[in-house]
Amino acid sequence: MTKVNLPPEEATTVSILLQHPLVTGLDATIARLLARGAQAKEAEPGEIVFREGDEARSYLLLESGEVEVFRYSHDGDERVFHVFEPGQLVAEAAMFMPHGRYPMWARARSTSRFFRLQRSSLHHACQSQPALAMSMLAGLSSALYGQVNKVDWITSSSAPERLANYLLQLKERQGNTVRLPLNQRQLAAHLGMRAETLSRLFTEWQTRGYVAGRRCDWKLQNLPQLQHLATLAQRPF
């Protein structure tokens, strides 16, 4: 195989991309196409990375730290939709939106380092590499399916079921002691309940021995009960 010498920023981007599900199993040439024009950036906690309505010329590959995407409601409340972690792509779907604008705000939650990947490079790679286009379609379809399930989940499940399911999803990544990536007001909005309801649930569950902790740090103590509640809110696939 011919060795390809890349600028340092593009070489680092390629090495991270090769671990991403979008590119895993595909030819390394695809990662190099996506990395063309990559720019390394850093952001401090609370720094805005892009704004809703800005022209979407690039998407992000997160190397370290955390980035959250959010929107403001008409009454000024802030709703966080997702917190991205190292190795994940941020706003790649926005690169294909007809209006060409970011649909949300993005903000660093901690000191973060990421690479801005160019929309033009992504479009070129998809046009020239059908395998990448199919992988991208599969990823976007999976995300759409997840959102459909989430709407159904919020409208058909109870508040305890949704909270139990959410905590167990965190457990898969963090273990029996979890740290909430959102404050309780943001988490309540994410789970489709009032902040008072969420606070009451945590208080009740501490009394019953389901969980122990405070604010953002919780130990999951009664896993069978949480799993029973969560199962009621889950779909078979």
pLDDT in tens, 12-23: 999 999 999 999
Here the CATH number for the domain that contains residue 52 is: 2.60.120.10
Q: What is the model's pLDDT at position 234?
A: 64
Q: What is the pLDDT of residues 124-136, one digit of tens each?
A: 999 999 999 999 9
Strand ranges (E), 51-121: 58-64, 67-72, 78-84, 89-90, 105-108, 112-118
* 127 and 208, same domain (yes or no): no
Burial 76-106 (b: 16+ CB within 10 A, else e): eeeebebbbeeebbbbbbbbeeeeeebebbb
Q: What is the model's pLDDT at position 49?
A: 98
Domain that holds residue 103: 8-132
Domains in the chain, number: 2
Q: What is the pLDDT of residues 72-114, one digit of tens each?
A: 988 888 889 999 999 999 999 999 999 999 999 999 999 999 9
The answer to whether the beta carbons of residues 38 and 125 sit under 8 Å apart is no
DSSP β-bridge partners for residue 54: none
* 38 and 92, same domain (yes or no): yes
